[in-house]
Amino acid sequence: MKNGYSIIVNNLRKSFGNEEVLKDVSFKVKYGEIIGILGLSGAGKTTLLRCLIGLETPDSGEIIIDNKKIVFDKNKSNNKNQIRKKIGMVFQQFNLIPRTTVLTNVLIGRLPHINERGIIYRIGTYFGYFPQKDVEIAKNCIYKVGLGDKINSKVSKLSGGQQQRVGIARALAMEPIVLLADEPVSNLDPKTSEEILGLFKLISKNDNISIIISLHQLEYAKKYCDKILGLSNGKVVYYGSPKNLDEGIIKKIYSKK
Ligand SMILES: Nc1ncnc2c1ncn2[C@@H]1O[C@H](COP(=O)(O)OP(=O)(O)OP(=O)(O)O)[C@@H](O)[C@H]1O
């Protein structure tokens, strides 16, 4: 089991035009830790997650994932794709292919690994052929999220909570060391939201995967996260245990300034 930090972020800055959205953001995440990002709408939560997965290029600062620094410079050798394979993403809108089966959706999470094996494998997946080894990994992930009886069901026939479980299984099929989830429960009712957050917690502990979740509900963050990252106007105003969150800190997180 890996110890130490899966992600280290140092002095990250990101602007869009004249608006500086991330202002000197620094934090470290241990393997197996679950982090909740809290902040007002527009605080920079999504931008931070997008920087971590390489969808946005920071203006300056450092991101180290699994002890490897991400190279942002377009002119230098780019290791972004290698790093990206270590990070799975779970979306608010699930981002699944509704007319296909749970298994097919989860197998998509295997593509970065399969494509790496060469053009023949890549063509195979295009025609729906997936190596048995990858099918087994995908099935295991489906069992892990509690959908063992739905492997061949169409995603469109599943409830919202079940669809989000498929999204989690697809991210797990990448065999990541970090899972990022951007408001993964905003489209779910309270009971289902808690089930999904409970599943994240279980995965982080059982599989030693770090999970970073942006959340709008303070109560959920307190109940399910090991640490809270409070972002206000692009700045980290709190990083620590939910136990130490007091009224003053909560006010700071949810203030505009
Ligand atoms: N691609 C972009 N181009 C220009 N501005 C952007 C872009 N992406 C985000 N922004 C701006 O950056 C700021 C932070 O946005 P971000 O989506 O990161 O906030 P958030 O905390 O995730 O908000 P929410 O809780 O509403 O999702 C906002 O002012 C937003 O308009």
Check residue 106 and give its pLDDT: 96
In the chain, what percentage of residues exceed pLDDT 90?
77
Tell whether 12 is covered by a domain: yes
Of 45, 59, 182, the residue with max ligand 1 atoms within 8 A of its CB, to mutate for a pocket test, comes to 45
Q: Which among 19, 26, 70 has a CA at the least distance from the CA of 48? A: 26
CA of 180 to the centre of ligand 1 (A): 17
pLDDT above 60: residue 77: no
pLDDT above 80: residue 82: no
Tell whether 56 is covered by a domain: yes
Number of domains in the chain: 1
Ligand 1 pocket member 215 (CB < 6 A): no
Atom of ligand 1 nearest to the CA of 56: 1
Please give the radius of gyration of the chain, using alpha carbons only, rounded to the nearest integer.
18
Q: 73 falls in which pLDDT band (50, 70, 90)?
A: low
3-state secondary structure of 7: strand
Written as one string, the DSSP assignment of 148-159 is: GGGTTSBGGGS-
Check residue 123 and give its pLDDT: 83
91-132, pLDDT tens digit by residue?
888 889 999 999 999 999 888 888 888 888 778 787 788 889
Query: Rounded distance, CA 118 to CA 208, Å?
Result: 30
Tell whether 99 is covered by a domain: no
pLDDT above 90: residue 50: yes
Detail the DSSP E strand segments found in the chain: 5-16, 19-30, 34-38, 60-65, 68-69, 87-90, 178-182, 210-214, 227-232, 235-240
Query: Rounded distance, CA 251 to CA 142, Å?
Result: 40
**Tally of CB atoms within 10 A around 76:** 8
CATH of the domain at 19: 3.40.50.300
Tell whether 72 is covered by a domain: yes
Tell whether 50 is covered by a domain: yes
ipTM of the complex: 0.96
Check residue 81 and give its pLDDT: 66
The gap from C-alpha 165 to its chain's centroid, in whole angstroms, comes to 13
Of 12, 23, 41, 47, the residue with max ligand 1 atoms within 8 A of its CB, to mutate for a pocket test, comes to 47
Tell whether 163 is covered by a domain: no
Choice among 23-27, 63-67, 145-149, 227-231 with the minimum mean pLDDT: 63-67
Q: What is the pTM of this model?
A: 0.92
Residue 15: phi and psi, rounded to 5, are -120, 150
Q: 15 falls in which pLDDT band (50, 70, 90)?
A: very high
Tell whether 39 is covered by a domain: yes
Q: What is the mean pLDDT of the segment spanning 172-197?
A: 95
pLDDT above 80: residue 211: yes
Atom of ligand 1 nearest to the CA of 50: 18
Contact (Cβ atoms closer than 8 angstroms) between residue 33 and residue 226? yes
CA of 87 to the centre of ligand 1 (A): 21
In the chain, what percentage of residues exceed pLDDT 70?
95
User: Which residues constitute the domain of residue 13?
Assistant: 5-86+176-253
Query: Rounded distance, CA 254 to CA 216, Å?
Result: 11
Which residue is it, tokens 């997965």? 53
* 79 Cβ contact list (under 8 Å, min separation 6): 68, 70, 71
Residue 73: phi and psi, rounded to 5, are -65, 120
Which pairing describes strands 60-65 and 68-69: parallel, antiparallel, or unpaired?
Answer: antiparallel
Say which amino acid occupies 191.
K
Q: Which two tokens stand for residue 87?
A: 């990070």
Tell whether 98 is covered by a domain: no
